[in-house]
Each structure stands twice: as structure tokens, then as C-alpha cells.
Structure 1
Amino acid sequence: MILLACLPACTTAPQRARHELVGLSRADLVSCAGVPDVEEQRDGQDVLVWKQDQQVDGPVSITTPFLFGVSIGGRGTCHVIATLKDDRVSRIAYTGPSTTLNGPLAACAPLISECEAFARKAAVPVKKESGAPDARPE
């Protein structure tokens, strides 16, 4: 039971990325996430989409010699959507049934974890509404 209670909190890179990637340059985003699957302009902003359409399984599978198997956990897919204004990330969003046994947005982690780690190391400052740089939220 303790293990099951911990699992939803175990995959947090996608949640952190919503804040930590804001301010990241387009070049750095493509460098860590790869070339986007879809790219378009809307309302003066660039929208980049990366797709994880292959289902990601939960980590627990039990099989028996009698061809009977049980898989515990959801299967998830994910699309990571980055909105950029002036060649800087202004928003990160996710779509798709991305919950697995590892937690909410777990299917998104492979797409975004490298960028989230890069942003943490680079410590890109988040800008306030007034435009003045501010310390990164924790």
C-alpha cells in the first residue's frame, strides 16, 4: 500500500517542466527535445508539438507459463505542446491519456525529462508580468 501511495508523486518532471521551461530559447528547446512533430504559427506565437503516440505501459506485468498474463497500470500516450513568443517558451501543456502506474503525465516524461533537467541546470530566470527578471519558483 505504501508503494502505491508513492507512485503518483514519483514522476514529476512534466509538472516541473511547466514552470522550469518558461523562458527557455527555441534553440535550447529543440536541442533537448528534438525536432518537433508539428510546428505552426497561431496568433503571432509559434506552437511546437512533440508526440508520444506509442502507448507507454505501467511497470508491473505478471505472466505465467499457462499464457495468462496481468498488467497493472494504465497505458498512456502524450503530446507535449510548447507555445513560444519571441523565440522563448511561454507555456508548456500536455494532451492525451498520459497517466500510467507511475503517475499522472508519466507517459510525457520521456518527451520532456531531458529539457527539464537542462532547464534546472541552466536556471533560466522567469520574468514577472512587469518584465523584470525574477528568481525561479521552487
Structure 2
Amino acid sequence: MHWKKTLAILPLLLVGACSVAPMQAKHDLIGIQRSDLISCAGVPDNSTSLPDGEVLEWRQDQEVQGPLTLKTPFSFELDVGGHGTCHMVARLRQGRVSQIEYTGPSATLGGPYAACRPLVLACEKWIVHK
């Protein structure tokens, strides 16, 4: 009987895991050097110098689709998972990350930040193995 409960909960755990990395990165990446951020996240798509530092932006503009799309006859289509894109914005002060934020529409079953996962996954793995 317990295995039935486990099977029922497993999809929820897997879906929730999609948005854990971006939220964890908002804390884990604080304080790392600019060069380390670029080596794990890649070259930013945009950068802006500010009087007190710099802002770097990475864009994940290819829509991440949700895990379930139902298509029926008569051109009826139901997308249960949703779609999402993400922009990761890092604020740096004195060459170190002081803030991470995410922008862009993201409405997937994986959570509001699931589309941001590809942007931070390598950095999260780097932090864990550091």
C-alpha cells in the first residue's frame, strides 16, 4: 500500500525539483567573483556598468514547455504544463555577486522559475563541488 502513495507523490516531487535550483542560486551565488559566475553561467547576453557596480543579464528566450500537452480531433489542444522564458539578472559590487533576480514570463508545472533552471544549473553544480 505504501508504494501506491509513493507513486502518487513522486510526480509532485519531480515537478517541484525543477524550480529548486533557481531559488537556491539566489542565495548560493551571492559573493562569488565575476569570473566564476561567467565561467559557470556563460558569457552574459547584456551588461551595464553602474556607478556602484555592474549588472549582467542572461536570457533564456527559447520557451520551455510544460510536460503535458493533449491533442484531440477537431484541432482541440490542451496544454496543461504552460510555457515560460527567463532572464537571469545578476548585480555585482566590487566584482562580486550581490543579488540575483529572475524576470520573464514563466508559467510551467515545474513552478514559476522552472524556465530559469538551465541558466543556473551549471553554477549550482559548481557551488556543490567547490
Report the CA distance between 1:67 and its aligned residue.
5.2
Pick from 117, 120, 127 the counterpart of residue 119 of structure 1: 127
Partner of 2:4: none
**2:116 counterpart residue number:** 108
TM-score w.r.t. structure 1 length?
0.77
Give me the whole-angstrom Cα distance separating, in 1, the residues matched to 2:99 and 2:113: 16
Amino acid at match of 1:35: V
Q: Hey, what's the Cα distance between the residues in 1 that align with 2:101 and 2:49?
A: 16
CA RMSD of aligned residues (A): 2.1
Q: Sequence identity of aligned pairs in percent?
A: 49
Is 2:106 aligned against 1:98?
A: yes
Amino acid at match of 2:116: C
Q: Is residue 10 from structure 1 mapped to residue 34 from structure 2 by the alignment?
A: no
Aligned with 2:16: secondary structure? Answer: helix
In structure 2, the partner of 1:38 is: 46
Per-residue displacement from partner, 1:43-83 (whole Å, max 9, x unpaired)? 32110000111211101123357654432112111110011
Give the direction of change, closer, same or farther, for the CA distance of 1:3–1:60 in structure 2 (3 Å limit).
farther
1:20/1:120 contact within 8 Å kept: no
SS of residue paired to 1:98: coil
Q: Is the 8 A contact 1:24 1:119 kept in 2?
A: no
Normalised to the residue count of structure 2, the TM-score between the two structures is 0.82
How far, CA to CA, are the matches of 1:59 and 1:72 in structure 2?
Answer: 8
Gaps of 5+ in 1: 123-138
1:3–1:74 distance in 2 versus 1, CA, 3 Å = farther
Number of aligned residue pairs: give it: 122
